[in-house]
Every structure is written in structure tokens, then in C-alpha cells.
Structure 1
Amino acid sequence: MKTLLFLAKGVETMELSVFVDVLGWARNDYGYNTEVVTCGFNKEVVSTFNIPIRVDKVIDEINVDDYDALAIPGGFEEFGFYEEAYDEKFLKLIRQFDSKSKIIASICVGALPVGKSGVLKNRKATTYHLKDGCRQKQLNTFGVNVINEPIVVDRNIITSYCPETAPEVAFKLLEMLTSKEKMEAVKVAMGFKL
């Protein structure tokens, strides 16, 4: 099972790392088939707080049929996150994953491009909930039924409302890719409580 981890400019490093670590532990320590492929608009993505990250693929190289899931960490507007997260190439990629009922897992404002793509219209989701709920209001403008809960799953799409939820989103993705029992084995091994 292959997960495409999309890194827009200004991506939050904590939010991207959980996907790498949880799926990496599953693959390395348990032999699960949980490969992660990083992707961006350029071979080097500059994350929030100016940490450069070299990615495996650029967006133009991606064939959706090669992947089982799409993971979308959030990022900071001040570091240019929405410039790439809202790019039509990326929105089209999100639509392609959803049209094939592939898993889409987002953390925090990673839900906003999912909403902007149109795939969450009349569906339940959440996003960043603090600072007067401005991001949840923004998500609502895309026709989304916003639920103010830490993690919301609507069929194939996982959304969450802040960085604190990041590990749980990665574990939910692992569960959807494998099974609850396999996810729980990794979760306990990583020191998290069930």
C-alpha cells in the first residue's frame, strides 16, 4: 500500500512527520506494506519555519493509480501554504483520489484544499478550530458540513482540527490501510495509549 504525502510550500513539519513515522514503524517493525512517497511542486519544498525538504516526486510525475492514499499536512499562510495547496493541479489530484474512493487524510488546514476541490461538498469535515474559528468558517464556504470535533471521518476522507490531532490522523490512516488490530500493534509499540 502506497501513500502519497503531498507537501505544499509552508507545510508544517510536525504534521508531515507523523505520516512518515507511523507508516514507517508499520513497515519497518511489522513488515506491513506501507510505503510513503513524498511529493511537491518542486524537488525541494521549504516548510514552515524555513526547513528545506527534498521530496521523492514532483506533482507532474504522479499517477493516482499508483497510490492507495493521499496524505495532506497543513501549513502556515505566512509561509505561502495556500499558494500551492490551492493550485488547480493539486485540487485536480485531490478530485482524482476521491473519484476512485481512495483514502484522503488531512491534518488541520490540510482540509481546506480538500474543501476547495469540491469533494467535501455536502459532507462532514473539520479543520483548525481556534482563532475565532475563522478556518472552520472558511471550510464551510466550500459547502462543507463543518463538525467541531478533533477528527472527522466521512467515508474515505479524514480531517482533523489542529496539530495536536496529527498522530491520531496517521493512526486512522494506518487502520484504514490495514486493520484496527494492525494499527493498534503499531500504536502501542510507539508508546501511545489505546
Structure 2
Amino acid sequence: MPKITEAKILILATNGFEQAELEVPRDKLREAGATVDVASLDGQKIKGWDKTDWGQEVDVDKALDDVRVTDYDALVLPGGQINPDLLRVEPEAIALIKEFNNAGKVIAAICHAPWLLIEAGLVSGREVTSYKSISTDVQNAGGNWKDVEVVSDNGIVTSRNPGDLEAFCKKIVEEVQEGRHDRKAA
């Protein structure tokens, strides 16, 4: 079984991510011993959204083009309304998510980030939670939407909102330590 202290985790985001949904998993996973990289589309700093207004900038380690799925054990997708909406129209971002899926690696999406899972074709037939306002989107994509704190379905972890971050991070650690998850290709 892999250890979280040996894991390498990627967070993919762009401007408009919900501040806590990037920073809390980044910090909690690092505290647990994982190496965590943040990637943006161009490798430049990105600015968060903090509840009702723009938040702080976050340093970025890599550009999306420089990311290799083979270097990572898991992918974390922060929500907010803006971030996943911008990322879901980026073919390279969706291709990366599909590649993580096809490699059986953990994918974790919170709040509105399941939009990215929908775009990648990963929710059909799967139990998923999300921010309530996109529950219909999840269901229309064939997902079985649950109004619960965190759902894990074969290594794909979803969570409702920033109030669930503690449970979200704990489930990511658990899934990473389980290792590879065999599932159908995207």
C-alpha cells in the first residue's frame, strides 16, 4: 500500500478558484507528508475568489503543458464558480483529467469542480456529490447525485462545499493510500 508521505499530488486551477478549496487541501495534504504541486494553464500565479470578492494570489509550480500524469498519484480540482467554468473549455485540462482517470489515479473535485468531471465524461453511472446548484448537471450527465459531505466512487472523490474540506482531505489521503483504482477509460 502506498503511503501519503511518498505521494505526489497535483492541484489544477486557474483564476477564480474558491480560496479555501485550493489552500486547505494543499496545506492539509502537505501536513500529511505529501508533495503537492499547483499547476495553472500558463504556470503563472493565480488569483482566488474568497466568498464574495477576489481573494489572494497563489504561487504556481508548473504550467499545464509541463505536467506529466506519471509523476503524480492524485489530482485535486478546486471549485468556486469561475475556476471550473474556465477550465472546462480548455481541451488540455480535460485531457489531463481523462489521463488521470485512465491511469487509475485518484481524482478529487469539490463544489463546482464536478463540472470538470462531467466534461471529461467521468460521472455517468457514478455516485457524485457537488455544490447543490449543479446537482441537475450531474444527474443530466448520468451521475447519481448525493446530498452528502463527501462521496468516493472507485477513487473519484467529490465533496459539496468548503464546509466539508476536513472530510474531503481525509478521504483524499485514504484513497491515495489505497493505490491504483481500476476503472473504465474516459
Q: 2:147 is matched with which residue?
A: 148
Structure 2 residues without counterparts, runs of 5 or longer: 1-6, 179-186
Q: Higher mean Cα deviation, 95-104 or 114-123?
A: 114-123
The whole-number CA distance in structure 2 between the counterparts of 1:81 and 1:23 is 21
2:141 is the counterpart of 1:138: no
Q: 1:47 is matched with which residue?
A: 48
Q: How many residue pairs were aligned?
A: 167
The whole-number CA distance in structure 2 between the counterparts of 1:7 and 1:92 is 14
Alpha-carbon contact 1:9-1:84 (below 8 Å) kept: no
- Listed as ranges, the matches of 1:67-86 within 5 Å are 67-77=72-82, 81-86=84-89
Q: 1:109 is matched with which residue?
A: 112
The whole-number CA distance in structure 2 between the counterparts of 1:69 and 1:81 is 18
2:18 is the counterpart of 1:12: yes
Q: 1:161 is matched with which residue?
A: 160
TM-score, scaled to structure 2? 0.84
Alpha-carbon contact 1:45-1:54 (below 8 Å) kept: yes
Q: CA deviation at 1:50?
A: 4.3
Counterpart code for 1:10 = G
**Larger helix fraction of residues:** 1
Q: CA deviation at 1:177?
A: 2.3
Q: 1:2 is matched with which residue?
A: 8
Q: 2:98 is matched with which residue?
A: 95
Q: CA deviation at 1:124?
A: 1.0
Instruction: Spell out, residue by residue over 1:33-86, the C-alpha distance to the aligned partner (whole angstroms, 9 max, x if none).
Output: x10010011212122114222200010001101100000110133xx6412244
The whole-number CA distance in structure 2 between the counterparts of 1:140 and 1:157 is 16
Structure 1 residues without counterparts, runs of 5 or longer: 28-33, 180-194
Distance 1:86 1:141, change over 3 A: farther
**Larger strand fraction of residues:** 2
Once superposed, what is the RMSD of the aligned Cα atoms?
1.5
TM-score, scaled to structure 1? 0.80
Match of 1:51, SS state, is: strand
Q: CA deviation at 1:18?
A: 1.6
Distance 1:71 1:63, change over 3 A: same
Q: Which has the larger Rg?
A: 1
Q: CA deviation at 1:141?
A: 2.1
- Listed as ranges, the matches of 1:52-67 within 5 Å are 52-67=57-72
Runs of 4+ in 1 over 4 A off after TM superposition: none
Q: Higher mean Cα deviation, 13-22 or 63-72?
A: 13-22
